[in-house]
């Protein structure tokens, strides 16, 4: 039984330490994404109200253009007014809900730095809780087991003077992020940076959205560098395989030439 428990603990620890990308790598990707989207002037956080949608008037207009039907002047004017209202609404939503599109690099760096600092120094005792009313006993025990695994891993990293953000990934971040959000809103470093509360809210919303779908999120996908290294390794292996085939073809060609030379020599001797 003891060996089985030890295997479980080792498995839980490996699941935490083996995750890619790490938290540090994920936020490097996040910063690159924000800066790239700022340059291309596209929204950082896509919401249902911020994504441009075709109105029924636009659909009618497109259909009439396809069929060649003419519109009355009054109807065209109404459609133009409706489209203008929709554009104004979209612009208003973009400014209100997505200030990351206008955030300065120093502000983004402060937000990310405080997030990483909070992850590395997070007091795991804050995660202690009682069993929920609707929570089964087995589910509660499972959560306690996961917490103990996190505690053991963090203690190991602390003993080795290693930062958690350089070793742990989305599993750990998912545990601590809800409480780190509160810390960010009360951070003295963020307050001294004189950034608007809307910017902090937008940053938190963007990170939360990426974490909610970590399997598909570009932020939590394997790093581009690792992907390029993997592709380069595959190319080297393919090149080596091709080179082996080429070398074998050359050997086969030499053998054929030798056979031909021997055949000609035999015929000359007979002659």
Same domain? For 116 and 9 the reply is: yes
Q: What is the pLDDT of residues 58-81, one digit of tens each?
A: 445 544 444 444 455 566 666 666
- C-alpha distances in angstroms, 213 versus 103, 123, 194, 216? 24, 26, 31, 6
Q: What is the pLDDT of residues 18-44, one digit of tens each?
A: 888 899 999 999 998 888 888 876 655
Location of structure tokens 């998912």: 174
Q: What is the pLDDT of residues 95-150, one digit of tens each?
A: 334 468 888 999 999 999 999 999 999 999 998 888 888 888 888 888 887 888 88
Give me the half-sphere count of Cα atoms (radius 13 Å) on the Cβ side of residue 148.
Answer: 12
Question: When comparing pLDDT for 40 and 188, which is higher?
Answer: 188
Highest mean pLDDT among 84-88, 136-140, 164-168, 255-259: 164-168
Q: What is the pLDDT of residue 212?
A: 87
Does residue 53 lie within any of the structural domains? no
Structurally, how many domains does the chain consist of?
2
Same domain? For 187 and 128 the reply is: yes
Lowest-confidence pick of 28-37, 84-93, 184-193:
84-93
At 208, the pLDDT band (50, 70, 90 cuts) reads very high
Same domain? For 127 and 201 the reply is: yes
Same domain? For 265 and 211 the reply is: no
Give me the half-sphere count of Cα atoms (radius 13 Å) on the Cβ side of residue 121.
Answer: 7
Same domain? For 6 and 122 the reply is: yes
What is the Cα–Cα distance from 26 to 11, expressed in whole angstroms? 23
């Amino acid at each position: 039984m003891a060996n089985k428990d030890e295997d479980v603990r080792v498995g839980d620890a490996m699941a935490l330490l083996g995750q890619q990308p790490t938290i540090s790598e994920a936020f490097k990707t996040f910063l690159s994404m924000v800066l790239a989207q700022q340059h291309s002037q596209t929204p950082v956080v896509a919401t249902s109200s911020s994504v441009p949608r075709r109105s029924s008037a636009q659909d009618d207009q497109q259909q009439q253009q396809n069929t060649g039907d003419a519109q009355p002047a009054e109807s065209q004017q109404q459609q133009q007014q409706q489209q203008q209202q929709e554009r104004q609404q979209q612009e208003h939503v973009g400014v209100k809900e997505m200030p990351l599109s206008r955030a300065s690099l120093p502000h983004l760096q402060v937000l990310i730095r405080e997030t990483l600092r909070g992850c590395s120094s997070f007091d795991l005792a804050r995660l202690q809780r009682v069993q929920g009313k609707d929570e089964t006993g087995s589910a509660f025990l499972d959560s306690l087991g996961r917490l103990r695994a996190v505690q053991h891993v963090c203690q190991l990293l602390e003993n080795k003077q290693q930062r958690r953000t350089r070793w742990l990934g989305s599993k750990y971040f998912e545990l601590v992020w809800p409480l780190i959000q509160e810390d960010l809103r009360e951070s003295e470093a963020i307050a001294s940076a004189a950034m608007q509360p809307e910017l902090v809210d937008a940053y938190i919303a963007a990170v939360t959205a990426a974490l909610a779908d970590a399997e598909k999120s570009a932020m939590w996908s394997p790093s581009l560098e690792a992907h390029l290294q993997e592709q380069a390794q595959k190319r080297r292996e393919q090149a080596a395989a091709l080179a082996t085939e080429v070398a074998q073809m050359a050997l086969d060609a030499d053998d054929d030439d030798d056979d031909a030379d021997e055949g000609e020599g035999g015929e000359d001797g007979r002659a």
